[in-house]
């Protein structure tokens, strides 16, 4: 049986509703009355943002393609390590200003916010430089290589008073808000087990970033970070908090000759006796789904990481004891990266977002550090600091 989500969607209620869901605050009744009569994504107080992109890889292209469908964002500039690469990117996506360096984007007076889409080891450096230059920051996940670097990035954002968000775009999507609501309302009773997978298959190339130790390769940092962030979110909401930290982390993996993980699993235990079984890979195509089992039922999400990627319908399957299975449909008119861009604009004056706070990012990096430690993955840059 298909059901439309009864709770107002994110497109109807916007940032305040997201804040209430993720922080346990109760929305005022007048808010729901106002949301009912307002058109989707009509946020009169939302800022308009002029964006610059650092990097010209695949994910930078996805962001550039989606940004024009946001309500707030316009793409002003792109920067690459070569002018040729920047010019090619600019021609493909209609970027007005193309720079042959990242520094030039940060110096560009037309740029208010930057989307950092560089390889993982460069995230910390360019986040800190962007903060010093007064640019607001949306940084691709993982925020940094490790917890120690994340501390320095967040300190820079705080000292220079700029917005900073780790770009887990699924956290900004209305499907995740609905999922949080279902867990908070104990729709499946007490949460017991979380199963999450995110993995794909690529041919091995020791020089490609996914398989290079020097470039922060491996499945754990590339997509395993999603499974960790989701399990921490669900475990937290189930115990009355925005997120939770694992009390136990165990893992095993198969490593490449380059000493990065090709496929890996983790088991985590959270407060409330909640267990999580996580799997990630760069050489195994996986289900890429989320299952949550509770004392009174279960939830299945077939596309937890990129719901309605180009806009449209997303679904959550809900099964409860003694009731017919339900399919909850969540509508999102915009592509997911456009939703994320508008989310940044909505919270920019707060300097961080309730969908992924700075403390949440720090906790995620610490859990990832523990997973890597369990399987013996250490990056060259980490060794050089010791």
CB–CB of 94/31 below 8 Å? no
Confidence at residue 24, expressed as pLDDT on a 0 to 100 scale = 44
What is the residue-level pLDDT of the chain in tens, covering all 386 positions?
Answer: 444 443 333 334 444 444 444 444 444 333 332 332 333 333 334 579 999 999 999 999 999 999 999 999 999 999 999 999 999 999 999 999 999 999 999 999 999 999 999 999 999 999 999 999 999 999 999 999 999 999 999 999 999 999 999 999 999 999 999 999 999 999 999 999 999 999 999 999 999 999 999 999 999 999 999 999 999 999 999 999 999 999 999 999 999 999 999 999 999 999 999 999 999 999 999 999 999 999 999 999 999 999 999 999 999 999 999 999 999 999 999 999 999 999 999 999 999 999 999 999 999 999 999 999 999 999 999 987 65
CA angle, 25 then 26 then 29, to 5° = 150
- pLDDT digits over 185-226, tens only? 999 999 999 999 999 999 999 999 999 999 999 999 999 999
Find all residues with CB under 8 Å of 305, minimum gap 6, and list them.
170, 198, 223, 226, 288
Residue 26: the pLDDT is: 40
3-state secondary structure the chain: CEEECCCCCHHHHHHHHHHHHHHCCCCCHHHHHHHHHCCCCCCCCCCCEEEEEECCCHHHHHHHHHHHHCCCEEEEEEECCCHHHHHHHHHHHCCCEEECCHHHHHHCCCCCEEEECCCHHHHHHHHHHHHHCCCEEEEECCCCCCHHHHHHHHHHHHHCCCCEEEECHHHHCHHHHHHHHHHHCCCCCCEEEEEEEEECECCCCCCCHHHCCCCCCCHHHHHHHHHHHHHHHHHHHHCCCCCCCCCEEEEEEEECCCCCEEEEEEEEEECCCEEEEEEEECECCCCCCEEEEECCEEEEECCCCCCCCCCEEEEEEEEECCCCCEEEEEEECCCHHHHHHHHHHHHHHHCCECCECHHHHHHHHHHHHHHHHHHCCCCHHHHHHC
Exposed, middle or buried: residue 245 (CB in 10 Å: 0-12, 13-18, 19+)?
Answer: buried
Specify the pLDDT at position 345: 97
Look up tokens 């319908």; give the residue.
Answer: 313
Query: Tokens representing 344?
Result: 């940044």
382 within 8 A of 145, measured Cβ to Cβ: yes
pTM of the model as a whole = 0.88
Contact assessment for residue 199 and residue 219, using Cβ atoms and an 8 Å cutoff: yes
CA-CA distance, 355 to 253, in Å (whole number)? Answer: 30
Q: Are 154 and 358 in contact (CB under 8 A)?
A: yes
Q: Which two tokens stand for residue 4?
A: 């439309």
Angle at Cα 119 formed by Cα 215 and Cα 252, nearest 5°?
A: 50
Q: Of the candidates 381, 368, 360, which has an alpha carbon nearest to the alpha carbon of residue 146? A: 368
> Whats the size of the chain, residue-wise?
386
Domains and CATH numbers, the chain: 49-167 (3.40.50.720), 170-335+350-385 (3.30.360.10)
Per-residue pLDDT tens for 37-65?
333 333 334 579 999 999 999 999 999 99
- Give me the sign of the Cα torsion angle 348, 349, 355, 360: positive
Identify whether the C-beta of residue 159 lies closer than 8 Å to the C-beta of residue 326.
no
Q: Residue 383: its pLDDT value, please?
A: 86
Instruction: Measure the CA–CA gap between 71 and 49, rounded to whole angstroms.
Output: 10
């Amino acid at each position: 049986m298909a059901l439309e989500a009864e709770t107002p969607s994110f497109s109807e209620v916007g940032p305040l509703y997201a804040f209430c869901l993720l922080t346990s605050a109760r929305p005022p009744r007048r808010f729901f009355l106002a949301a009912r009569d307002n058109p989707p994504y009509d946020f009169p107080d939302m800022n308009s943002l002029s964006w610059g992109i650092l990097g010209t890889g695949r994910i930078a292209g996805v962001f550039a393609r989606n940004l024009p469908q946001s309500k707030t964002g316009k793409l002003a500039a792109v920067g690459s390590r070569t002018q040729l690469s920047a010019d090619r990117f600019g021609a493909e996506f209609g970027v007005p200003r193309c720079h042959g360096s990242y520094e030039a984007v940060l110096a560009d007076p037309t740029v208010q916010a930057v989307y950092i889409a560089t390889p993982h080891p460069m995230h910390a450096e360019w986040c800190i430089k962007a903060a010093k230059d007064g640019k607001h920051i949306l940084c691709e996940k993982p925020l940094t290589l490790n917890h120690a670097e994340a501390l320095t990035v967040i300190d820079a954002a705080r000292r220079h008073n700029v917005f900073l968000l780790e770009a887990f775009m699924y956290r900004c999507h209305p499907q995740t808000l609905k999922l949080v609501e279902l867990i908070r309302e104990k729709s499946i009773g007490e949460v017991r087990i979380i199963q999450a997978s995110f993995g794909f298959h690529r041919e091995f190339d020791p020089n490609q970033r996914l398989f290079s130790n020097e470039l922060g390769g491996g499945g754990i940092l590339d997509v395993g970070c999603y499974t960790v962030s989701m399990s921490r979110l669900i475990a937290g909401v189930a115990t009355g908090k925005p997120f939770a930290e694992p009390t136990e982390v165990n893992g095993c993996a198969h490593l490449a000759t380059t000493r990065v993980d090709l496929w890996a699993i983790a088991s985590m235990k959270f407060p409330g006796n909640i267990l999580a079984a996580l799997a990630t890979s760069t050489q195994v195509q996986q289900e890429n789904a989320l299952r949550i089992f509770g004392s009174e039922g279960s939830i299945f999400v077939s596309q937890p990481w990129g719901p309605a990627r180009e806009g449209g319908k997303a679904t959550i399957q809900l099964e409860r004891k003694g009731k017919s299975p339900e399919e909850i449909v969540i509508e999102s008119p915009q592509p997911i990266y456009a939703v994320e861009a508008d989310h940044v604009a909505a919270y920019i004056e707060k300097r961080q977002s309730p969908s992924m706070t700075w403390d949440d990012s720090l906790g995620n990096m610490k859990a990832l550090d523990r997973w890597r430690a369990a399987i013996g993955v250490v990056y060259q840059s980490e060794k050089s600091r010791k």
